[in-house]
Amino acid sequence: MSPFRIVKVGGDLLENEIRFNEFIHAFSSIEGKKILVHGGGKEASRLLDALKIPVKYHEGRRITDAKTMEIVTMVYGGLINKNVVAQLQAIGVSAIGMAGCDGDIINAHKRIVDKIDYGFAGDIDYVNANILIKLMGAGLVPVICPLTHDGQGQLLNTNADTITSEIGVALSLKGRVKLHYCFGINGVLRDFDDKESVIEELDEPTFQQLRSEGNISAGMIPKLTNAFNAIKGGVSKVTIGNHTHFIQSSGYTTIL
């Protein structure tokens, strides 16, 4: 049985027409059951800025107040999700756009306030893997935006890298899973100023060392934290790289 393949595409690729077109064609070439998870934080931040709503982050994670929640719901669940679905349909991929509330695929709770109040940020309680498997079994490709729900009517903003990882862990109970994080550079860099300094294999101690040295920061912190959580949770393989790296044999980072 071929593995489930889960691909996460970041906002920088969504905004680059040429590279996104290359990406969706590469994604369409993946055989078997697959899921696409997308972000879109840059587009949301641009609209928030235009509306003069302050944009706040802590260690790469968005702080989501009530007004921000309204905007990210419109951008993630509407504008970006439906555009991605339409682009996939145009090249023959039978895609279905989803948020966590659709089919109750991702249930979460509002993040508990500790030192930082993240507002309407959601931490995942469970992923309904059976629904996703049924959709894929029907020949559909779920395209999932970074919105979850609490089962009580409240939508929550959940990091797309976390969603990718948690879906991977849930599906790993049903079969082998390969997970791919795709963004604008070739992989995790030892030196951010040197785009060729890709670390081919990255273990957690090296990640923590690079983080303490400041070579890994901001959005890469949750991405890598989730990548390691996926491996610990049973995902067979996790890779991080550019927009077509999952059809290449090298030139990206493999998480150990």
Q: Of 33-47, 130-144, 206-220, where does mean pLDDT reach its minimum?
A: 206-220
Residue 227 amino acid letter: A
Residue 168's pLDDT band, with cuts at 50, 70 and 90, is: very high
What total of structural domains would you count in the chain?
A: 1
DSSP string, 185-206: SSS-BSSTT-TT-B-SEE-HHH
Let me know: does 106 contact 35? Beta carbons within 8 Å. Answer: no
pLDDT higher than threshold 80 for residue 252? yes
Domain range holding 128? 4-255
Q: Residue 17: pLDDT above 80? A: yes
This prediction's pTM: 0.95
CA–CA distance from 174 to each of 1, 102, 169 (Å)? 11, 21, 9
pLDDT for 69-80, tens place per residue?
999 999 999 999
- Tell me which amino acid residue 77 is: G
What burial class does residue 97 get, using C-beta atoms within 10 Å of its C-beta: 0-12 exposed, 13-18 middle, 19+ buried? buried
| Bigger pLDDT: 47 vs 249 | 47
**For the domain that residue 71 is a member of, what is the CATH number?**
3.40.1160.10
98: nearest Cα among 60, 59, 148, 64: 148
**Cβ pair 94, 136 in contact under 8 A:** no
